[in-house]
Amino acid sequence: MAKIALITGATSGIGEACANLFAREGYSLILTGRRLDRLEKLAAHLNKKYNTEVAVCAFDVRDREQVNVNLDNLPAKWKKVNVLINNAGLSQGLDPIQSGSIDDWETMIDTNIKGLLYVSKMVSKWMVANGFGHIINLGSLAGKEVYPNGNVYCATKFAVDALSKGMRADLLSHGIRVTAIHPGAVETEFSEVRFHGDKERAKKTYEGFKPLVADDVAETIWFAASRPAHVNISELIVTPTAQATVTNIFRSPEVGKSERWNK
């Protein structure tokens, strides 16, 4: 069987772009996400275009039981995962701490931190048993610098940064590599999710500069994943040119708000 990549949040954006890129490079794929119809459509496309073998697992990473049951029930051959891409993540709301939605907070914490942990625990156990593997966590520029009204989202991405470092320390003796990828603004469904489906407000996020696209980040992930086994890329920060300095990070289309942060 070809090398295997497991990609969470593969139904759109960076996850979908990674699926296309890794399929092109000859990987078999385990694709996960909440929307089964999108997963099946993507799997059929990749099989037709690249003759890629694809396993589809529809579940929400926030649900520990769903994660465990779906992954544990995979046939043994699919548990020889070479690369885990922890891409599933989101932001909801953009409010100061005193008026933020607790429901939004819990959704971000459960997805960005706990969901990543649930998947990583299962797959890292396989990797330790197999004696090989590479975990790639999608962090964010928001996990390196906080911004106004980003509070809980930033906290979750700071946690991803810390977890990546902790995983690297824990798994080093097993020959398992760990990489954190920290993108800046990426034009995907991310802002629509953040603003609960408000497409006009989401569109304003990218006004006045050229954001990254999903393929830009997927290619950065592939760069890290394709290094020889003796090379570990600990972390990479990739931003639009407009976000290349801290003074530009905080520019906003709305006075007093910072809506330019993405993934």
- Bridging pattern class, strands 54-58 and 28-33: parallel
Closest CA to 235 of 224, 249, 219, 222: 224
DSSP codes of every residue in 49-115? HH---EEEEE--TT-HHHHHHHHHTS-GGGG--SEEEE----------GGG--HHHHHHHIIIIIII
> At a CB cut-off of 8 Å and minimum separation 6, what does 88 contact?
8, 9, 15, 32, 33, 61, 111, 115, 116, 119
Query: What is each CA distance from 118 to 65, 112, 160, in whole angstroms?
Result: 9, 11, 13
Which sequence positions are flagged as catalytic? 153
Owner of token pair 């409010």: 95
DSSP codes joined into one string, 126-157: HHHHHT--EEEEE--GGGTS--TT-HHHHHHH
With tokens 């059929």, the residue in question is: 44
